[in-house]
Structure 1
Amino acid sequence: MLTKVIWGGVKTHRREEYYASSQCSGSEFFRHLGEVTDTDIFVYCPCTSPFVKPQTISQCINQFLSSSGYDSLATVSSIKEFLWLDGKPVNYAPTHAPNSQDLPDVVALNFGVTVVWKEDLIRNCNIIGTKPQFVMTDDIEAIDIDTPLDFYIAEQLYKKLVLEGKGLLE
């Protein structure tokens, strides 16, 4: 394990090879992260969410610390899609298909920012607790790079919004 302070008390941690591999499950990874991190509150902001604003991170931390009744806080995106699982619709009846804007309000974790107590992270083996609070992000902040296409889209947005100075990320 390699841990070093880079600035302002922020520490980096280089994962051991197993915890960076596809053999390691998400639950194993999160539990390990909690076990090797010296903190009471864990804030998870992966580099695969490059458009999350510093203000959003601060807002999430402050909201988590000032709220009671929740054991975690996570950024989410609204999903208005016709969803199916195992050959069956999840959020609508095909014989009474609504307009997409009238589908139920379903949210998806986008992993831009997650805040959780370290003890809950270890106990639940997850950065999302059993009583999460959600913060909705806009479409750009919600971008999560998981595939080459996601990376291409993020790269094009970066060129347009940052390099061309469109100011949408401020």
Structure 2
Amino acid sequence: MKPKVLAIIPARGGSKGVPRKNSRNFAGKPLIAWTIEEAKKSKYITRTILSSDNEEIIKMAKEYGCDVPFVRPKELAQDDTPGINVVLHALEQCRGYEYVILLQPTSPFRTVEDIDNCIEYTINQQVKFCVSVTEAEQSPYWMYTIVNGKMKPVIEQTQLTTRRQDLPNVYVLNGAIYIAKVEEIIKKKSFLTDETKSFIMSNENSLDIDTMLDFEIGEYLIGKS
């Protein structure tokens, strides 16, 4: 029997980078709709819920078939609210699930294949925590801090590597998928632990909408496809 999986889509009303970001029209439909539609296609997700404090977002989510079992308290919808607190609050309201998956609405290019492949890997390998990553475009081996005008490498090397192909592959969190066993996330209160495994996504599916430039680039890319 398949384990019960709860998908949480977090979407508060306030956004400094892009006003009304989650409810804003993105290539023909609200940004949040892209995530709801892919989650609803999943063969593993048992229930998809929205965690929001905003009436406009709640209404839109319901129109696209997303469950809204509660309104997020204002104290959990501030700029400095840790994301894990939103997850733990949702798990308190919706009990009886073995896995929880966090799907941020700022990843409209994330597909149901990405979602289901990540869930399948997590379940089949009995992974406690898994997060999506993508290969970094800029290598930290070529990055520096500047102290009193002097260059200081972020990663100390005995010899500077000048060819990119000689550098090790490095990966960054893309913010698209976070999954964990419910009992483990309640204990650890974080998706990022020393037991967290990675799920690699393509750069094409990893665009995170954080600024108006991201918004415009994303719409351009969808228009080309």
TM-score, with normalisation over the residues of structure 2?
0.59
Answering whether residue 71 of structure 2 is matched by residue 11 of structure 1, we say no
Name the amino acid aligned to 1:56.
D
If asked which structure has higher relative contact order (CA below 8 Å, sep 6+), I would say 1
**Are 2:51 and 2:90, in contact at CA under 8 Å, matched by a contact in 1?**
no
Q: Which residue of 42, 57, 61 corresponds with 2:119? A: 61
1:56–1:103 Cα change, 3 Å? same
Name the amino acid aligned to 2:188.
N
**Are 2:174 and 2:206, in contact at CA under 8 Å, matched by a contact in 1?**
yes
What aligned pairs does 1:15-26 form with structure 2 within 5 A after superposition? 15-26=72-83
1:148–1:124 Cα change, 3 Å? farther
Answering whether residue 143 of structure 2 is matched by residue 83 of structure 1, we say yes
For 1:89 and 1:11, how far apart are their aligned partners in 2? 44
Q: CA deviation at 1:67?
A: 0.4
> Who is 1:99 aligned against?
163
> Identity of paired residues, percent?
23
Q: CA deviation at 1:66?
A: 0.4
TM-score, with normalisation over the residues of structure 1?
0.76
For 1:83 and 1:123, how far apart are their aligned partners in 2? 36
What aligned pairs does 1:8-157 form with structure 2 within 5 A after superposition? 9-14=47-52, 15-38=72-95, 39-68=97-126, 70-79=127-136, 80-81=138-139, 82-84=142-144, 88-91=152-155, 93=157, 96-157=160-221
For 1:144 and 1:21, how far apart are their aligned partners in 2? 20
- Greater displacement, 51-60 / 85-94: 85-94
Secondary structure, counterpart of 2:203 in structure 1: coil
1:74–1:86 Cα change, 3 Å? farther
Task: Name structure 2 gaps, 5 residues minimum.
Answer: 1-39, 41-45, 53-71
For 1:37 and 1:121, how far apart are their aligned partners in 2? 14
Q: CA deviation at 1:95?
A: 5.4
Secondary structure, counterpart of 1:119 in structure 2: helix
Task: Name structure 1 gaps, 5 residues minimum.
Answer: 1-6, 162-170
**Are 2:51 and 2:86, in contact at CA under 8 Å, matched by a contact in 1?**
no
**Are 1:121 and 1:128, in contact at CA under 8 Å, matched by a contact in 2?**
no
For 2:109 and 2:79, how far apart are their aligned partners in 1? 25
Secondary structure, counterpart of 1:57 in structure 2: helix
For 1:150 and 1:31, how far apart are their aligned partners in 2? 29
**Are 1:121 and 1:129, in contact at CA under 8 Å, matched by a contact in 2?**
no
**Are 1:46 and 1:112, in contact at CA under 8 Å, matched by a contact in 2?**
yes
Q: CA deviation at 1:12?
A: 2.8
Number of residue pairs the alignment of both structures matches: 154
Q: CA deviation at 1:58?
A: 0.7
